[in-house]
Amino acid sequence: MTKVKVHNWRSKLHEIIHEADTPMGRYFDVILLILIVLSVIFVMLESVEPIDRKFHEILYIGEWIITIFFTLEYILRVITVKKPSRYIFSFYGIIDFISTIPLYLSFIFVGSSYLLTVRAFRLLRIFRILKITRYLGEANKLTKALKNSRPKILVFLFTVLIIAIIAGTLMYLIEGEESGFTSIPRSIYWAIVTLTTVGYGDIAPTDPLGQFIAAILMIMGYGIIAVPTGIVSAEYATADDDEVHLSLIHI
């Protein structure tokens, strides 16, 4: 009789904690996600000095409450599965464990509580709640397209690297230390930043020839952004066509 009660107790907890198909399981996961978001927000707010100075106690207590909840949740997850080791060493099991221990480690290592932001990884559970697994087919096609595009993208990146090295070397020779181009590596850094159209503005050419080369690099940057997108898109379209062809064969 006792064994039956224990079995029913574990089955009920397993249904709530591990399953999102039931109303209770869905509510539990939603509460879990809310607490994860709150935990990450608390840690971020704690890093803002004026807010931490004013609300430190509230943030600290709130974080401990959430940590205790996650600790109990982790223990319950372990004891309600048939093979605890499978869960403990699974992706979610490791993430759950890592996201639980930082606050305890703060007693030993100063500042480790900020590692609580890894709890954001637990938001991946939203895939289970929202049934996004139905889109796994599209994700697989995208993964296949990226794999097929790898040789072309590597060649493209190698070409971009060569352009950046040549442009950086030229800018070092033309502009020199007066304009901030103190070395060839630093000049290559500028070329990469310019090619990617980020343009931090920490280094800027002053010589007319240098400005002309910079203008060419900026224009090239727009084209460079489009190339990898086009390569992957073409492979993705090919994967789509292959799938349609296979479905027609089966018909």
Model pLDDT for residues 96-155, shown as the tens digit of each residue: 888 788 777 777 776 666 666 666 666 666 555 555 555 556 666 777 777 887 888 888
Q: From CA 73, how far away is CA 232, in angstroms rounded?
A: 41
Q: Which residue has the tokens 């935990």?
A: 39
Say what the pLDDT of residue 244 is: 46
Cβ-contact 63, 39 below 8 angstroms: yes
- Measured CA to CA in angstroms, residue 37 lies from 13, 74, 96, 100, 174 at distances of 23, 17, 14, 14, 51
Q: 2.40.30.10, 3.40.190.10, 1.20.120.350, 2.60.40.60: which CATH number matches 2-130?
A: 1.20.120.350
Amino acid 14: pLDDT? 75
> Sign of the C-alpha dihedral, residues 69, 71, 77, 79?
negative
- Helix, strand, coil share of the chain (percent; to 5): 85, 0, 15
Q: What is the DSSP letter of 113?
A: G
pTM: 0.53
* One CATH from 1.10.287.70, 2.60.40.420, 3.90.1150.10, 1.10.12.10 for 135-250: 1.10.287.70
**pLDDT mean over 64-78:** 88
Hey, where are the domains in the chain? 2-130, 135-250
d(CA 3, CA 71): 26
